[in-house]
Structure 1
């Protein structure tokens, strides 16, 4: 395999063990050679020689929501690129204590690290995980000796989206939030409140949805009773689609009568009529960087873990927002 890839046997071993600090083009050569030779690593031998299983466990929310599903797919791709297989343990949004069980199952199956991507308030959780952990969200009560965390202010997305509406001249800005149990819903609502408070504008309690188009439509119907409203920040794109439909059916035009800004930048967002102004979530980049840092932590543990430095939210300004009439 080393001869076919044009690298040393030591480099082949490093790639097969999933070690970091191998140039992407070199890793690609080795993996392509392994595929051509139909190489299958001996899992038992690898565990004996390295003490690692070559597997990363992922605790992910069951369902079809865009954000969690996209993050899961990106994490699996990044792990595979680095020579790791993934084992997924799904949780249930309706289970108040759904986190501990999947983590225990993954540890029993043998994994070198765990990715936690659920973003739901599980209530009191207290457990120690003895392998490196990547957390993308809030996980109170989870103790891990080696941890990779996303270093971000989660409320900034709501703040930036709402600030855009304020800068356009809107003063009556409402919010359709996600389910209360989701940390992401709370954080985005906090950012919306903070932007309004900083501008000295009124804060009307959010209207709760369920992340779906149907939930956005139902929330939109409730908001139609608010005659003063000129703009809405919606916690995700799918609910924004439902809101726009409700406004359309009531005869209120977007953005002439009501401006709408959302979050996620799903693939359909720029093809809607009107195209949707939204916060861009680069989930592929987030997952890729996070998994790379996790693999580094697996290979070379550090006393204080590692942190992902996420930048300021990016707003894609499109046709659904405009100054109020």
Structure 2
């Protein structure tokens, strides 16, 4: 046989690493490897690490199709969301991924280009083709609220950041409660009223916070200043701050998120306004950098980890119990007082 005929012969395919191979290397049973592979509890940490190390050394990859046939699920959750540009959505997504992993599930993310019925149904279809077991939808904009978009029937789904609790299972931060606490904090310091730098008009969370701001002022018998609108970005907070610095009666501002508060602080500083001596500022979110603002920002803390945990546990209950859930679960907020608030100037 000449060299050319040898070259034409097909190469032998490398044998796929099996579960039995992993079991032999790790010194455990194939059943133990299966339990580790599928994220099931009950495997001691030392044994789990032995199995994982053997998987890594051999390059073992579980067969998702076979696993789905055996267990009746792919152990993957699909996440649909409309933007990754906001801090809240990113931190919620991080919390979902972390909680899902703790339950032995992977996550598949699919951003939606436009908040329309066709885009939403297209996202469910594409995720279904990617073999996911259930869905979490981060719905920041007013879609389900206005019934302009509905979700496909007969799917396990939990929705974050929406007002659709009568039709779906919803998990959300207590937007109204947190905003009310922020405004009352400023009023209790002696401010005659509180201005509000709101998020974008199409945002459900922004609307909830703005409504609570106005209601709290009215309940206290205070004048309601004109609402100032931003887009969640620090740049929009800066532009709003330049305008608010020209308002002689503005001694307190409640901003709908910390990013806009950051821009607001810069604008007030450039305009010669001292925070909190001249103007007090409260944010919303309690991002990790809030304590490093100048001055450190008083803000409303959102428990994103708890939101993510409840979203995952809610959709897994539906998946395993095959029972649709309805209603809204609100995650409490709390005010974190720092150095950006004080009584108004004498």
TM-score range, shorter chain: 0.7 to 0.9
Q: Residues 303, 284 of structure 1: CA spacing in aligned structure 2 closer, same or farther, 3 A cutoff?
A: closer
CA contact 1:290–1:308 (8 Å) conserved in 2 = no
From 48, 68, 73, the equivalent of 1:52 is 73
| Equivalent residue pairs, number | 316
Q: Shift of residue 304 of structure 1?
A: 3.6
Q: Shift of residue 5 of structure 1?
A: 9.4
From 155, 172, 177, the equivalent of 2:176 is 155
Q: Shift of residue 137 of structure 1?
A: 1.3
Aligned counterpart, 2:257: 236
Q: Which moved more, 1:277-286 or 1:249-258?
A: 277-286
Matched, 1:285 2:306: yes
- TM-score normalised over the length of structure 2: 0.81
Aligned counterpart, 1:136: 160
Q: Shift of residue 79 of structure 1?
A: 1.4
Q: Residues 9, 210 of structure 1: CA spacing in aligned structure 2 closer, same or farther, 3 A cutoff?
A: same
Distance 1:5 1:148 in 2: 42
Matched, 1:322 2:339: no
Deviations 1:15-61 (A, max 9, x none): 64456xx47xx575665343112153221111112221121100123
Distance 2:344 2:213 in 1: 18
Aligned counterpart, 2:14: none
Aligned counterpart, 2:51: 34
CA contact 2:298–2:337 (8 Å) conserved in 1 = yes
For 1:142-291, list aligned pairs within 5 A. Answer: 148-150=169-171, 153-291=174-312
Unmatched 5+ stretches in structure 2:
1-21
Q: What's the secondary structure of 2:161's corresponding residue?
A: coil
Matched, 1:127 2:151: yes
Name which one, 1 or 2, has greater alpha-carbon Rg.
2
Deviations 1:124-155 (A, max 9, x none): 01332433212111164996xxx643266431
Q: Residues 3, 151 of structure 1: CA spacing in aligned structure 2 closer, same or farther, 3 A cutoff?
A: farther
Q: Shift of residue 289 of structure 1?
A: 3.2
Q: What's the secondary structure of 1:135's corresponding residue?
A: strand
CA contact 2:169–2:325 (8 Å) conserved in 1 = no
C-alpha RMSD of the superposition? 2.9
CA contact 1:127–1:141 (8 Å) conserved in 2 = no
Distance 1:121 1:310 in 2: 20
Q: Shift of residue 117 of structure 1?
A: 1.3
Q: What's the secondary structure of 2:68's corresponding residue?
A: helix
From 110, 115, 118, the equivalent of 2:136 is 115
Q: Shift of residue 7 of structure 1?
A: 9.8
Q: Residues 231, 273 of structure 1: CA spacing in aligned structure 2 closer, same or farther, 3 A cutoff?
A: same
Unmatched 5+ stretches in structure 1:
none
CA contact 1:15–1:82 (8 Å) conserved in 2 = no
CA contact 2:172–2:307 (8 Å) conserved in 1 = no
CA contact 2:120–2:151 (8 Å) conserved in 1 = no
Distance 1:6 1:191 in 2: 60
Q: What's the secondary structure of 2:73's corresponding residue?
A: coil
